[in-house]
Amino acid sequence: MRELMTSRARRLAMLSAFCAPLALLSSLTSADAASSSTSAKRHTTRAKNTTSPAASLPAATTASTAPRLSVKPVKQVAGSTTASGVESIVATARRSRSEQSLGHTQIQRILPGVNPIKALSMLPGVIYEDADPWGNNEQNASLYIHGFNQNQLGFTLDGIPLGDQSYGNYNGLSPQRAVISENIANAAVATGAGSLGTASTSNLGGTLEFTSSDPKRHAGGQLSQTFGSWSTFRTFARIDTGEFGNGNYAYVSWARQDARAWDFAGHQGGNQVNAKFVHEGLHDKISWFFDWSDKVEPNEDGIVLPNGYGTYVRPFIYPDAAYAKKYFNSSAYTSAGLNYRNYYSAAQRRDFLTYLSWNHDFNSHLHLNTKFYYHNNTGEGVVAGPISAAGLPTLFSAYYPGQNLNQVFGGSGLATRTTEYWDNRGGVMSSLRYELGAHTIEVGGWYERNNNTQARRWYPFSWSDPTTPYQRQQNALIDQYTNNFYTNTWVTHLQDTWKVSKNFTLNAGFKSELVYTNGTLPVAAKAGSLSPSTAITVPGGTVAAAKPFLPSFGAVWNITPNEQWFANIQENMRSFQATGYGNATAWGATSQAAFDNFARNGKPETSWTYETGLRTHHNVNLGPLTGIQAQAEYYHVHFSNRLVAISTTQVLSSIVGSATTLANVGSVSTDGMDFSFTAQFGDHFSLYNALSYNKSVYNDNYSTGTSLVHTANKNVVGTPDWSEKFIATTNWGGFSGQFIGEVIGKRFTTYTNDMWASPYAMFSMNAGYAIHGIPHIPVLRVQGNITNLTNVKAWSTVNATQTSGQFTAYPIAPRMFFLTLSAEW
């Protein structure tokens, strides 16, 4: 259970102690005392009609439409002082489902510039792994919540859809590319099922919702600089205009990060710009947000196990050309097998994202929220590696039969391969909320048009003019295949929240999802170039994923002023991924007949989620223990129509890829419990702890066409049965410090459960001090971070395989040190 916000006086005390870092949140949680009476009236009116994310929620107001961070105020212990260093680490929304969040200050304490998803891994039931300390490398990342992976969850920024987080980008972008980390006001996760109005068609499991900070109500700025291990150099700058008339506020910010990867010479990072404008009128709030991100993340390849035991890293060789020339002609390359090293590998991503939001209060009972958004992405995944890798000679010979392939590709023995992405999507979403007596009725809709292209191309590589991981490739030798997809998404929802009595609330509703994707094939793979040689890329066509009625039911009962029971039942559907050959998608079929059959008879993945639990909060006087807040939750999930891309060959190289058949392999059953609490020890110490148990099992065996894979009653891969997280915090005036721990249990890495990644425990520390009174700098902050304190070696992300005896894993980054200086005014 998370620390709940207390009284307004306590929040003001927190602002006094931590000042500028919480200013981003305070801009969302309190109305400004404007200089003019008109402005004061405007802010007062909006405070009556809307509730800000961090506002207190009275005991009787527990409707599902209540604001996301709304929490019930906790009585002050007699004699306690509000002018203390007590700080809320985790907030728990008082809804009919489990939903918890981290605020701006805690996110940046974990590590300045951290991916907010990595920050959320401190919450119960959330398992996020990555091979860098910020959690930014998307190829190496994995996320599991209650047995579902990131492609089966929902992600939004300020309500705008971010897609399903596929590494092969097709319908969105990662949160760290959508908003600069320092501009995040709040990150929240609903571990069971998200709200009906969540703009996602992939959330079989929970939802992760990120909120950008509004501009500050006063003119000012922030300049932060982080230095650290492996030449880390991160700069963040933000300028706030303050109010410049008629309720208008704005900010513009810039971030640049450059850090050498810890085990190879690649430099990770790039530039990002955010801008936001807010206008607040008597009955309206208009917001405009802009994000530009241009990043390159050089990738490390995973270790293929068990052959790779004894090897912990598989770094690329770039830019050591002299060594590369020797390596690719040595016995070391031959003996490495599948663990050979590429010259380089990288993910290049450039994004533009913008939205315009309008909130209008017709009166105190009728409210309208409308958003228009647009996102453009261009990017490529690029690899430079040997042309002799498994399957490549066959591929190249199909295009250059009888020719000297080494000469064709530049004489180096290497080739440059790209998967090139282009995504152009936009949409509109709107909801209308009407408060009618004891009922709050909401109706809403979301439409998105998404045009995306994915292409596989091959380029020459010459030592006289070698390509690099930071440049876009030009003039392909082979345009192997290109897929175009056109997707129309229609989602509507209707719900009613009924306040049956002062302490009991029911909510019920449903949503409709209609997703139509037309896939075409402008460029088909040449005959004989794929694996097996008889495989083809199919012309494709239209596939629909439609569920007109996905119900949701919930209840909240305030048993006492300090205890609350909640329950929720909800059905969700995941639409088909708009990707092509080699993926778990209909457009990866090996024949047009197979595609047509799936288009007619294929079923989308669906899930039923059941969750219930208890929340409690008490101020106590038990020696050093002065407060306790906790939540215990039980959940059950039935996941149907699980879709798996079954390889039609046993070719192990991912360079060529193997033709796949998309198969419905049955269902998954999940049962689990999450328990969390925050114990407060006076004004200066607190302990947060989260313990999770998850049991997800496959219910069915399935056939590959030639053999039966025995997966029935086997554990779902990638997610541990047990996980434990804790944060010990101390605050003394301007000083704060935290000791953070995370224990991840055993994770199975093959569907047949014959291999696994061992449990591990990892710890980190942070400490900071705020210096006040420096001329012209109201606040100067100094923060130090140590990640992987004990320098543990273990596997972070694991890529499971359908067959037994083999899997791929990525290492955990070693111990690193960081120092951040931040001036705020």
Secondary structure element (H or E) that encloses residue 119, with its range? helix 116-120
Three-class SS of 228-243: ECCCEEEEEEEEECCC
- DSSP letters for 122-166: TSTTEEEE-SSTTS--STT-EEEETTEEGGGSEEEETTEE-TT--
The pTM of the full predicted model, rounded to 2 decimals, is: 0.89
- Measuring CA to CA, which residue among 231, 235, 329, 249 is closest to residue 286? 249
Residue with tokens 């005959």: 527
Cα–Cα dist 152/62, whole Å: 28
Cα–Cα dist 118/125, whole Å: 13
Whether the predicted pLDDT of 796 surpasses 60: yes
Q: Other CB atoms closer than 10 Å to residue 533's CB: what's the count?
A: 13
- Give me the pLDDT at residue 390, please: 77
Instruction: Answer whether 732's CB lies under 8 Å from 85's CB.
Output: yes
Per-residue pLDDT of 403-420, as tens digits, reads: 999 999 999 999 999 999
Mean pLDDT of 174-195: 97
- Report the mean per-residue pLDDT for the chain: 88
Out of 25-34, 116-125, 584-593, 648-657, the most confident range is 116-125
Q: So where are the chain's domains?
A: 8-221+360-378+417-456+477-824
Whether the predicted pLDDT of 46 surpasses 60: no
Cα–Cα dist 441/439, whole Å: 6
Mean pLDDT of 675-703: 96
Whether the predicted pLDDT of 226 surpasses 50: yes
Cα–Cα dist 123/308, whole Å: 33
- Give me the pLDDT at residue 803, please: 67
With b meaning 16 or more CB within 10 Å and e meaning fewer, what string describes 447-470? ebebebbbbbbbbbbeeeebbbbe
Per-residue pLDDT of 285-324, as tens digits, reads: 999 999 999 999 999 899 999 888 789 999 999 999 999 9
| 8-221+360-378+417-456+477-824 CATH pick, 2.40.50, 2.40.170, 2.60.40, 1.25.40 | 2.40.170
Q: What radius of gyration, in Å, describes the C-alpha atoms of the chain? A: 27
With b meaning 16 or more CB within 10 Å and e meaning fewer, what string describes 226-256? bebbbebebebebebbebeeebbbbbbbbbe
Q: How confident is the model at residue 648 (pLDDT cuts 50, 70, 90)?
A: low
Per-residue pLDDT of 720-731, as tens digits, reads: 999 999 999 999
- Give me the pLDDT at residue 649, please: 61
**What value, to the nearest 5°, has the Cα angle with vertex 427 and ends 576 and 508?**
70
Q: How confident is the model at residue 17 (pLDDT cuts 50, 70, 90)?
A: very low
Per-residue pLDDT of 731-741, as tens digits, reads: 999 999 999 99
- Give me the pLDDT at residue 54, please: 34
The terminus-to-terminus CA distance of the chain in angstroms comes to 35
Whether the predicted pLDDT of 1 surpasses 60: no
Per-residue pLDDT of 326-360, as tens digits, reads: 999 999 999 999 899 999 999 999 999 999 999 99
- Is the bond leading into 116 cis (omega within 30 degrees of zero)? no
